[in-house]
A and B are shown apart, each in its own frame.
Chain A
Amino acid sequence: DTGVSQDPRHKITKRGQNVTFRCDPISEHNRLYWYRQTLGQGPEFLTYFQNEAQLEKSRLLSDRFSAERPKGSFSTLEIQRTEQGDSAMYLCASSLRSFFANEQFFGPGTRLTVL
C-alpha cells in the first residue's frame, strides 16, 4: 500500500495524558499537512511541513500541540495534557509542492477520544 498511513487508528485516553500520533506520507511527497475534524464539520488546518521545515501553524494549534517531521519523512503530532475538547479525528495529508495545484492525499485518520 503506497498511500498515506496513520497510526494508531483509534486512541482513547484520559484527560491530562499525553498522546502522540504518527503519519507516514506518500514517499515522494515533500509536503505534509495535519488537519483536525470534529463531528459534522469539515477538516480544519493545523499545520504543514515542506520537507522537514514547519512552514505554518494555525492558531488552533495551542502550546499543548507540537508537530515534527524529522528528516522530511514521517511526522508526529503530540498533544500534551489532553482535554476533552481535543476529541476529534486527526487527519494527515501529503502532496507534492506545485506552483499551480495542490491535490492532497489523505490518510485514514486517527480518532482521539479524551475521557
Chain B
Amino acid sequence: SQQGEEDPQALSIQEGENATMNCSYKTSINNLQWYRQNSGRGLVHLILIRSNEREKHSGRLRVTLDTSKKSSSLLITASRAADTASYFCATDINAGGTSYGKLTFGQGTILTVHP
C-alpha cells in the first residue's frame, strides 16, 4: 500500500491563481519530496524538504512540512497553463537515521490550469 494520501485528487483553476495540494503520510520520514509528471512521461523532481525543516521555497513553489501531523503541502503561486500535470508527494522513510533510498509515492493530484 502507498504511504502518502494526497488531497485533492483533482484540482482545476484559472491561470494566475494559486494551487495548493496536500499530502499525508503514516511513518517517520527522513525527507519528503514533490514530483511532477506530465501525461505519460517520467517524473520530474520539484523540491525536497528534510524532516527537520518546516518550510522551503523554490521559485513559485512553497512546501511546508508538519511532522507532528505527518502532513505536507505544496503551493504553486501564479499558476500557468504549463503547470498542468500530476503532482506526487514521495516519502523517504526513516530507517534508523539513514536514507533507505527508496521512495513511497502518494496517488497524486491532477492539476489543470486553464488559460
Interface size class of A (residues with CB under 8 A): 20 to 34
Check if A91 sits within 8 Å of B42, measured CB to CB.
yes
Give the interface size bracket for B toward A: 20 to 34
Of B2, B45, B100, which is within 8 A of A103 by CB? B45
**Contacts A42-B108, A103-B33, A103-B48 known; A33 to B42 CB distance under 8 Å?**
no
Determine the distance from Cα of A99 to Cα of B107 in the docked complex, in whole angstroms. 27
Query: Which of A42, A50, A56 lies in contact with B88, CB distance below 8 A?
Result: A42
* Shortest distance from the beta carbon of A10 to any chain B beta carbon, whole Å: 10
Cα–Cα distance between A16 and B105 once the two chains are bound (Å): 30
A residues with a Cβ closer than 8 A to B are 4, 31, 33, 35, 40-45, 48, 50, 55-56, 89, 91, 93, 95, 97-109, 111
